[in-house]
């Protein structure tokens, strides 16, 4: 089997990121179960975990963590998944990322700084 062209690879990544944004967990996981790197990034440096967390899809976040997604990978703007979930007020996702070992001091702004800025420090207590 020939490897995918760069254009085809980018198209697959775009589909994966759209599935993460939509919280289409079963469809999303099929890509990873068939060999796509769970930490693949789009042009902005986002991972499926980042987008699922930011868009409030708890089931997708849990499944990606279970498949070994790196909870601390930051995008090109140095934002972490946990900071994005804090920004959006996604309590359960913050808890899941913390339980998976997310670094609350990584990124700009860090999760701690984000929690303070948006009055959500209680999510880190």
Any domain includes 1: no
Taking the chain, what is the end-to-end CA distance rounded to the nearest angstrom?
Answer: 51
Q: What pLDDT digit, counting tens, does each position of 29-88 carry?
A: 999 999 999 999 999 999 999 999 999 999 999 999 999 999 999 999 999 999 999 999
pTM: 0.93
> pLDDT band at residue 2, thresholds of 50, 70 and 90?
low
Please indicate, yes or no, if residue 84 is contained in any of the structural domains. yes
CATH number of the structural domain spanning residue 32: 1.25.40.20
Residue 65 lies in domain: 6-124
Domain assignment present for 12: yes
Instruction: Tell me the pLDDT band of 23, cut-offs 50, 70 and 90.
Output: very high
8-24: b or e for each residue (b if 16 or more CB lie within 10 Å)? eeeeebeebbebbbebb
Q: What is the mean pLDDT of residues 26-30?
A: 97
Cβ proximity of 57 and 25 under 8 Å: yes
CB 16 within 8 A of CB 31: yes
If one counts the domains in the chain, the total is: 1
pLDDT at residue 1 above 70?
Answer: no
């Amino acid at each position: 089997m020939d490897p995918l062209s760069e254009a085809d690879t980018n198209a697959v990544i775009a589909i994966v990121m759209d599935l993460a944004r939509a919280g289409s967990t079963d469809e999303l996981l099929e890509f990873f179960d068939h060999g796509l790197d769970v930490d693949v990034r789009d042009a902005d440096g986002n991972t499926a975990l980042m987008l699922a967390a930011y868009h409030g899809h708890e089931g997708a976040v849990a499944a990606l963590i279970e498949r070994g997604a790196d909870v601390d990978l930051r995008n090109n703007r140095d934002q972490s998944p946990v900071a994005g979930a804090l920004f959006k007020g996604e309590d359960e996702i913050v808890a899941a990322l913390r339980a998976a070992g997310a670094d609350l001091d990584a990124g700009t702004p860090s999760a701690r700084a984000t929690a303070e800025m948006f009055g959500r420090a209680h999510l880190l207590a």
